[in-house]
Chain A
Amino acid sequence: MKRTVFFGALTVASIAAGASAAATLDDVKARGKLNCGVTTGLVGFAAPDANGKWEGFDVDFCRAVAAAVLGDANAVEFVPTTGKTRFTALASGEVDMLARNTTWTLSRDVDLKFDFIGVNYYDGQGFLVSKEMGVSSAKDLDGATVCIQTGTTTELNLADFFRANNISYEPVPIETNAEGQQQYLAGACDTYTTDASGLAATRATFENPSDHVVLPEIISKEPLGPLVRHGDNEWGDIVRWTLNALISAEELGITSANIGELSAAAGDNPEINRMLGTEGNLGEMLGLDADWAKRAIMAGGNYGEVFAKNIGESTPIALARGLNAQWKDGGLIYSPPFR
């Protein structure tokens, strides 16, 4: 329920009575909008265009969830969050889910009371250096000045890496990716370290991308995934299986182009039928209708399509699938079966 109360003209306070522990699904349905936390701006993952429309890899996942739950891929309010504010925004119920390249760690899962519902991007922390420095390994970086984004796990990894290898460095903390890029390009730091995907995205926008390389060492595992609040398992299931639906869709060859045809009537493949609701009642089990997965996939395409559109090799960011290829192609992207 939403009731707007006026305390005089002094505070125009819309108090959305949002129970933080349970029934996120009901809240979202009553509100008619999904509140999705994204970054304040990271090339390829989430950024607003000139018309204020958000675009990117994480953004498309939010849209898929909105399409599955509400039937409208545009029924999303994007809430920009910083590294500092993201967890509070989720814990306080300001956002229903966070799709903001957040690393799945034990302490965040357990201590901060969140549920990571899966991994939508396998990442790792890398180093970007210019070719003319003649560095071929991160271990050659003794005494280097390192630009690093604060408020992330990367600064802890960095400290660990240099301590373990017993080499010195000078950290230059920066607040946003744009600043990191500026400092790196101007030579105020020798190397810029963050998630390798972010490095590739940043490098892609350079004037001469070929002058810069990402070093081979990946010093950490950074499984990035969407997360929801601890304790509301129904809602967590919906978000988890929306992600799985996108992944399975790619595996099963369901694309936004052929989905209309495939969902029109039950076909030969029982798993496709179950997923698209022409057979069985999986949607009902989730508390949604039968077409939920179809809508999610139609919102932005399957996992592969979303990847290709936002960060894939045809985009300026040109990320290879690598670890994020389907398991059949030697990657780690794997969805449990729809059964």
Chain B
Amino acid sequence: MTTTTDPHQGQFRLSMLLYDSRYRSMTIQIVALIGFLMLIGWLLSNTAQNLADLGKEPGFSFMFEPAGYDINQRLLDYNSQDSHLRASLMGLLNTLLVAAMGCIAATVIGVIVGVLRLSPNWIVARLSAVYVEGFRNVPVLLWIVFIMAVLIETLPQPSAFRKGEASMSLWDTVAITNRGVYIPEPLFSRSLGDIHLLGSSALRFDVSLDLLALLAVLIAGILTSVLIKRRADVIQEATGERPRTWHLRVGAIVVPFILVLAVLGFYLGYPELKGFNFKGGTHLRNSLIALWLALSLYTGAFIAEIVRSGILAVSKGQTEAAGALGMRPNRTMSLVVLPQALRVIIPPLISNYLNLTKNSSLAIAVGYMDITGTLGGITMNQTGRELETVLLLMLVYLTISLTISAVMNWYNESVKLKER
């Protein structure tokens, strides 16, 4: 780069915009900006022209019209007379649900397999490698439809339970069928009821007071336990002896919680075969299970590689140095190896969470009603509002992604090696 330090002679000439390094960058930027704005303007005018030709008027009022279709998995109450907006909200919640479940399962699978791949046991290491390569090198969409097909074809259908060809697992509490898995659901015989928020708008939701009460007791218990620990710390500082507190700390959390459960009349509702289907219990649908399994197995394979390289990235000298300082192996792991490995593991891990969330949009292949299936699927199809629905859909995913990225950046900033 050339920099001129002597004062510039003479008058400003037009050619200086191009040849003078002081102005050139400004010129380039303005040209780029004008070019960009022209591109946007061109696209917008084309769009307006085309929509006018098609006789469509862009607008979002269709979102408030009745959707007309049913959604099988709904985390809030919904019926076919609710608006498209509420249907999209159901989809969004379903997306977030499967993404959260997938991230947790993928992490568990990834960590276990990543460690097993480093196992000295030849056959275990080989099997882990086969798993990782098999899942990484086949498109996730194929895995989703494949696992869905496995669930449908191999598990018993509800009528097999009626005929006695199949029976419920875990002491008759869980029914595994090819329509999904039915597990016991928590119920309260002396329930406090719900509070209804936001009236009858599209965003309305109910909050269970039982759940709030339980949550409050749990948080209070944890706070108490922290207080007990603080007190123990103070005593240890003062006297050098640490009082035994673990039973107090566990009790502070568990006892009030159980008490509240008893007061509310907690019991489990078991699934029962009634009519065509199992009734009662929580129904984890096949589509959810297939999507969840496929996403977590696929992403788990990537995470396994990340974990493996993270562990390998901590040099052996660190472990040996910790040993020389007299640390026990588990303290070495938790205080020396893991913190360093995590620094390598976490950033790619979070970008894998991001990928998993984006891949959950493939839910439509198995009919899981996520936001792509509701807003980008049925709503788009029934209203014919491609432009608006796709824009909204992109906006939703962008928001989710940017939130996850923000978390990642914040973490990266906080664990960055502080070089002094």
Contact = CB atoms under 8 A, between A and B. Distances in A.
B276 A144 contact: yes
Contacts of A173: 72, 367, 369, 373, 378
Interface stretch (A27-35, A155-163, A258-266, A323-331): A155-163
Contacts of B160: 187
What 9 A-B pairs are tightest by C-beta distance, nearest first? A187-B157, A173-B367, A159-B80, A143-B275, A186-B152, A144-B276, A151-B381, A188-B152, A188-B178
A143 B367 CA distance: 19
B157 A150 contact: no
A102 B81 CA distance: 24
Given A21-B53, A112-B384, A113-B54, A187 B276 contact: no
B127 to A, nearest CB: 29
B151 to A, nearest CB: 8
B320 interface: no
B365 interface: yes
B323 interface: no
Nearest to B275: A143
Interface in B246-294: 274-277, 279, 285-287
Interface string A95-122: 0000000000000000111000000000
Interface in B346-390: 364-365, 367, 369, 373, 377-378, 380-382, 384, 386
Contacts of B367: 150, 172-175, 179
Contact of A150 (B81, B149, B277, B373): B373
A91 B382 CA distance: 15
Interface in B376-416: 377-378, 380-382, 384, 386
Interface stretch (A40-48, A81-89, A201-209, A219-227): A81-89
Interface in A137-162: 141-145, 150-151, 155-156, 158-160, 162
B69 interface: yes
A175 B364 contact: yes
A20 interface: yes
B277 A170 contact: yes
Contacts of A273: none
A212 to B, nearest CB: 14
A172 B158 CA distance: 15
A188 B274 CA distance: 16
B419 interface: no
Interface in A234-268: none
B194 interface: no
Interface string A166-204: 000111111100010011001111100000000000000
B55 to A, nearest CB: 5
Nearest to B160: A187
B55 A113 contact: yes
Contacts of B339: none
A172 B274 CA distance: 19
Interface of A: 20-21, 83-84, 87-88, 91, 111-113, 132-133, 141-145, 150-151, 155-156, 158-160, 162-163, 169-175, 179, 182-183, 186-190, 230
A324 to B, nearest CB: 27
A216 B382 CA distance: 27
B70 interface: yes
Interface in B136-168: 149, 152-153, 157-160
A179 B160 CA distance: 21
Contacts of B285: 172
Contact of A188 (B69, B275, B286, B382): B286
Contacts of B277: 143-145, 170, 190
A163 B68 CA distance: 10
B229 interface: no
A186 B373 contact: no
Interface in B16-68: 53-56, 68
Contacts of A150: 364, 367, 373, 377-378, 381
B68 A182 contact: no
B376 to A, nearest CB: 9
Contacts of A159: 68-70, 80
Contacts of B343: none
Contacts of B69: 155-156, 159
24 contacts: A83-B381, A88-B386, A113-B54, A133-B159, A141-B276, A143-B274, A143-B275, A145-B179, A150-B364, A150-B373, A150-B378, A155-B70, A156-B382, A159-B69, A162-B70, A172-B179, A173-B373, A179-B367, A182-B152, A183-B152, A186-B178, A187-B160, A188-B178, A188-B179
A182 B384 contact: no
B330 to A, nearest CB: 47
Contacts of A186: 152-153, 157, 178
Given A20-B53, A156-B69, A188-B178, A145 B152 contact: no
Contacts of B68: 156, 159-160
B159 A172 contact: no
Nearest to B274: A143
B372 to A, nearest CB: 11
A160 B67 CA distance: 12
Given A151-B377, A175-B367, 9 more contacts: A20-B53, A84-B377, A142-B275, A150-B364, A150-B377, A159-B80, A163-B79, A182-B149, A186-B153
Nearest to B81: A163
Contacts of A113: 54-56
A91 B157 CA distance: 43
B53 A187 contact: no
B106 to A, nearest CB: 25
Given A21-B53, A113-B55, A156-B382, A170 B72 contact: yes
A87 B384 contact: yes
A113 B52 CA distance: 12
Given A163-B80, A170-B72, A183-B152, A84 B381 contact: yes
A92 to B, nearest CB: 9
Contact of B384 (A111, A145, A188, A190): A111
A144 B365 CA distance: 22
Contacts of A160: 68, 80
Contacts of B53: 20-21
A131 to B, nearest CB: 12
Contacts of A112: 384
